[in-house]
Structures are given as structure tokens and as C-alpha cells.
Amino acid sequence: MSVKIRLTRKGKKGVPYYRLVVIDSRLRREGPPIDMIGIYQPCHNPVTIKVDEEKAIKWLKEGAIPSTTVRSIFQKQGILKKLHEEKLSLFKKKIKEEKVVKEKQEDVSPIKGNEESTS
């Protein structure tokens, strides 16, 4: 199942507002969402954007693909940067652990015993 993060339109004619929802990509725009993670109100002055960062990051980690508009909203909110920093810190931690394991393996090399040579 392909999951996307996209906008669904709500509101009156000429005064729309949008919900940021996680939804199966095969469903129509107004279909039943899996989860609602925020709102976007472009007609307010100033523009209102509210996003639950924890839910957004959780769904992005699980492989949800944001639409172009949602991606730009996430960039403005700094969500994609936080996700990138989390992935980078996990990657650095993994590399550090691999170095420690490799050093331990080198320290436990076989010990050469007393070898008697016959001539």
C-alpha cells in the first residue's frame, strides 16, 4: 500500500482551508484519511500553518511520500531538517558502534604460543 501525505480541501466557496492528511494514494482527494497531521489556511492574513511535527516525522520515517505542496510546507516548518538530522545522528552512531566492534575484533586476534621448531 502506497501512503501519501497530501492536502484535502475544506471550507466555503472562495475561502478554502486544507487539512494535511495521511492517505492511501489510490483513494480520491476527499477519501477517508488514515491520520490528520495538520491544517493549512492560505486565506487568513497571515497564512496559518499548524503541523503536528511528531506525527509528520513518524509517517515520513514509515515511508509516506509528501506531495509537492506538503513538502514545501514541511520545509518552511523545519520538519524535513529535523528528520534529516535524526537520520544523520543515527548513521553516525551506527558507524561509531561498527568501529568499536572492529577494534575489539582486532584486539582478540589469536595469540601465538610457544612454537618449537625442529631442525
- Taking only the tens place, the pLDDT of each residue in 4-20 is 999 999 999 989 999 99
Does any domain span residue 26? yes
Query: Would 119 be classed as within a structural domain?
Result: no
Residue 96 belongs to some domain of the structure: no
Go through 18-40 and write b for each residue having 16 or more CB atoms within 10 A of its CB, e for each that does not.
bebbbbeeeeeeeeebbbebbbb
In a domain, 88, yes or no: no
53 and 73 in contact (C-beta within 8 Å)? no
Question: Mean pLDDT lowest for which of 5-19, 21-35, 38-52?
Answer: 21-35
* Domain presence at residue 87: no
What percentage of the chain carries pLDDT values higher than 70? 88
54 domain residue, yes or no: yes
Q: How far apart are CA 42 and CA 9, in angstroms?
A: 11
The CATH number given to whatever domain includes residue 12 is 3.30.1320.10
Which structural domain, as residue segments, surrounds residue 23? 3-79
Q: What's the number of domains the chain is made of?
A: 1
